[in-house]
Chains A and B, each alone.
Chain A
């Protein structure tokens, strides 16, 4: 690709990505008519947002470079554990983030975990 083609390609790619965000997030909001959906499916889908968040977050805690952790000396584990404990005691998301990062950053940056 020469410079001009590359410029055009990268802007086109990004504009397409924006359109994809719109279409995927709004997908089933687009049709006007009600969706024909069996009752069991609409009940089951109540678990989808919870499952989606879990699926995004679990590999971020338990995996490195696509593999399950092979060591306990990873700053994410004690950080997640302390954050969890804090949430159980206080049920406060802001504090959960703060406690987790207070454990994570020194271990990760200072200790190389």
Chain B
């Protein structure tokens, strides 16, 4: 126990930890508004107060929570609840292949913890700071700085939402702040033709395939964007070789 506390203390004192907190902070008003709305929605779906708190603190996945709430409210079979969450979360499985290149030297317990705390926005911010895919010692404190800010920035508003569910009307659409935060993060990533094309293709595919069940539209969008990005890279290389 003391060993872990010492280790956590050393991580938190590293300068990169503060940088991670700082980079995450800019997105927190958006993420927090989303957390607040999710907390409200959990209670409105009819979950008891202790269960709502348990869900907020342990599940820690906004899109999955929102997707299964109607199923929980309707008393759907367990397998259906779990299968839905699994499908909504498949995008994380894809992104976990990328975290590997930075953290596969750590022990299993630490790798599991990293995975659990890695949200949607974090990898994007992480690669802006470390685009090369090369391991550096400061990456671990940077990750935990982002993860701590992200956890608190989600949990505090989400718990507030659980307690204030009857005061905060969902009709206000406060969750739109979360959409705007992601939009900002996305724009910051668009650095060349390939990323522009990948993002445009992904947006179009996600909307066009929205009719698919279990949010499979996300997977369709990722697959088409990956192909589009690769095609663009190849085309650009050919263009360079032929001297334009």
Contact = CB atoms under 8 A, between A and B. Distances in A.
Interface magnitude class on chain B = 35 or more
B89 A37 contact: no
Given A9-B75, A12-B78, A48-B222, A17 B68 contact: yes
B207 A68 contact: yes
Nearest to A94: B26
Interface string A31-58: 0101101001011111111111111111
Nearest to B199: A54
A104 B178 CA distance: 13
Contacts of A80: 179-180, 183
Contacts of B60: 18, 21
Nearest to B83: A20
Contacts of B64: 17, 20-21
Contacts of B180: 79-80, 83, 96-97, 100-101
B186 A28 contact: no
A96 B183 CA distance: 8
Contacts, number: 275
A16 B96 contact: no
Interface stretch (B2-10, B12-20, B99-107, B152-160): B99-107
Contacts of A62: 207
Interface string A58-92: 11111100101000000110011001100110011
B168 to A, nearest CB: 13
A76 B95 CA distance: 28
Given A16-B82, A20-B85, A50-B195, A25 B92 contact: yes
A105 B172 contact: yes
Contact of A56 (B81, B114, B120, B224): B120
A21 B199 CA distance: 25
Interface in B12-35: 26-27, 29-30
Contact of A27 (B96, B120, B124, B184): B96
B127 A34 contact: no
Contact of A52 (B47, B95, B104, B233): B95
How many of chain A's residues touch chain B, expressed as a range?
35 or more
Given A11-B51, A47-B198, A48-B225, A97 B184 contact: yes
Interface in B116-138: 116-118, 120-121, 123-124, 127
A11 B206 CA distance: 32
A75 B183 CA distance: 16
Nearest to A98: B29
Contacts of B227: 44
A49 B95 contact: yes
Interface of A: 1, 6, 9-18, 20-22, 24-30, 32, 34-35, 37, 40, 42-63, 66, 68, 75-76, 79-80, 83-84, 87-88, 91-94, 96-98, 100-101, 104-105, 108-109
Given A47-B194, A63-B210, A105-B173, 9 more contacts: A14-B51, A20-B89, A21-B89, A47-B229, A54-B186, A55-B202, A57-B186, A76-B176, A100-B183
